[in-house]
Amino acid sequence: MQKVKQALLPVFVFATIDIRRLFRDKIAIFFTFLFPLIFLFIFGGIFGQDSSVSFNVALIDQADSQFSQQFTEQLKKGGVLEVDSTLRTISDAATAMERSQIDAIIVLPPSFGESQAATNYPSGEVRLQYSKNNQQAGQALSSILESHLDSLNKSVVGTQPQPFTVSIEPTGKPGLSSLDYLFPGLVGFTILGLGLFGPTSVFPRLKQRGVLRRYHTTTLQVWQFVLGNVLSNSAAALLAVAVMITVAITVPLFDVSIQGNILLLALFVVLGAVVIFGIGLSIGGWAKNENQAAPLSNLVSFPMMFLSGTFFPRFLMPEWLQNVSSFLPLTPFIDGVRMIMVEGRGLLDVMPQFGMLAVWGIIIYALAFRVFRWE
């Protein structure tokens, strides 16, 4: 017992000092805690409020009748159109569209809503102008206008029910934004960054300065040094993920929620951080200088960055690529975080992911110890 305690002493002393060092280093603080948040804000800004897609339009009401004003009010109520009321003429609106300030121009011509001589009900044509560069907005807007006109037609003509109808049912769990599905990928990206870019730059630098060589003249053993680093780095990674999750939950823009057990999530994050850090440790422990470490770390991290589901969901990939990428060490991590966080799964459900991470961990650390060099 005394011996074990003595053997673990340098591990704990190193880990505590290493964590203190992290908080003394402004650049390290930035890359550990703020850098992931920047990604969160970028992706949260893009995907966070997907439920409220809106188009900026100019609405030029040339008819200016009671009918056209009612129609305008209805369009605005739909919530999809953000009408820029400062644009009152077609030429102003056209200029604004050229500058991409608005997506389209809706024109209600002077005759809009007037009754034709042959009929006793109002009719008219809504003109939609959009830029050729913005086809998607044009198509979306035209179908929005069509649906508005459709209900208008029904109320005016009062035709009997249509024989063929489509019923629309929005699906998906309530309260889950698309950021909920993307967030685990961002967690994976953070773990990848911390686990790879830290050790692959720090260890070669320490070697070149002879710091590790000095350690080697003491009775410090490789496993003690490695374990100390693993402890401090997984603690930092857990903290970074905790900061990320806290921000994602509390900032209304993101509206991310945790469905599953938070302790299970923490355990899983730590395991993932340890495994991914092992990759960085293998590279940094092997490399004599940064010139050896940098290309190797890029080579290893790029496939995971793009294929493990960090930014692009894996289900969008061709099947063969999905099969290949499922074997990358980051993939079970991101899948597991998604299952626990978003789908609320329990320990038994994520056992395959746990197992695969553990197998990777054994392989990676066996390699790390084999290739480690003090200088």
Partner 1 sequence: MTSMIDVRDLTKVYNGEPVVDGVSFTVKKGEIFGILGPNGAGKTTTLEMLEGLRTIDDGSATIDGIDVASNPRRIRSLIGVQPQTPSFEEKTKLTELINFFAATYGKTVNAREFLADVQLLEKANSYPEQLSGGQRQRFSIAAALVHSPKVFFLDEPTTGLDPQARRNLWELIKEVRDRGVSVVMTTHYMDEAEILCDRIAVMDGGKIVALDTPKRLIAALLKKGFKKPQQVQQANLEDVFIDLTGKELRE
State the residues that interact with partner 1 by CB under 8 A.
Answer: 6-7, 9-10, 13-14, 17, 20-21, 24-25, 206, 209-211, 213-221, 224
Return the number of the residue (15 or 187) whose C-beta is nearest partner 1.
15
Closer residue to partner 1 in complex, CB, 225/268:
225
19 touches 235 (CB < 8 A): yes
Between 13 and 262, name the residue whose CB sits nearer to partner 1: 13
Q: 127 vs 373, which CB is nearer to partner 1?
A: 373
Please state the closest distance from residue 236 (CB atom) to partner 1, in A. 14
Closest approach, Cβ 3 to partner 1, in A, equals 9
Angle at CA 306, nearest 5°, toward 304 and 310?
85
C-alpha–C-alpha distance, residues 281 and 199, integer Å: 6
- For the CB of residue 26, give the shortest distance to partner 1 in the complex, in Å: 10
Nearer to partner 1, 134 or 221 (CB): 221
Least gap, CB of 288 to partner 1 (angstroms): 15
CB of 28 to partner 1, least distance (A): 9
Residue 194 or 357 having the CB closest to partner 1: 194
- We find the least distance from the C-beta atom of residue 10 to partner 1, in angstroms, to be 4
Q: What residues does 106 pair with on adjacent strands? A: 59, 128
- Could you tell me the sign of the dihedral formed by the alpha carbons of 313, 319, 321, 324, in that order? positive
- Is the Cβ–Cβ distance between 234 and 273 less than 8 Å? yes
Q: Which of 23, 96, 24 is closest to 57 using CA atoms?
A: 96
Minimum CB separation of residue 201 from partner 1 in Å reads: 13
Considering the complex, state which of residue 7 and residue 249 has its C-beta at the smaller distance from partner 1: 7
Nearer to partner 1, 211 or 239 (CB): 211
Task: Tell me the closest approach of the beta carbon of residue 6 to partner 1, in angstroms.
Answer: 4
Nearer to partner 1, 220 or 294 (CB): 220
Least separation in angstroms between residue 370's CB and partner 1 is: 18
15 or 97, CB closer to partner 1? 15
User: Quick one: which of 162, 196, 187 has its CA closest to 244?
Assistant: 187
| Shortest Å, Cβ 319 to partner 1 | 48
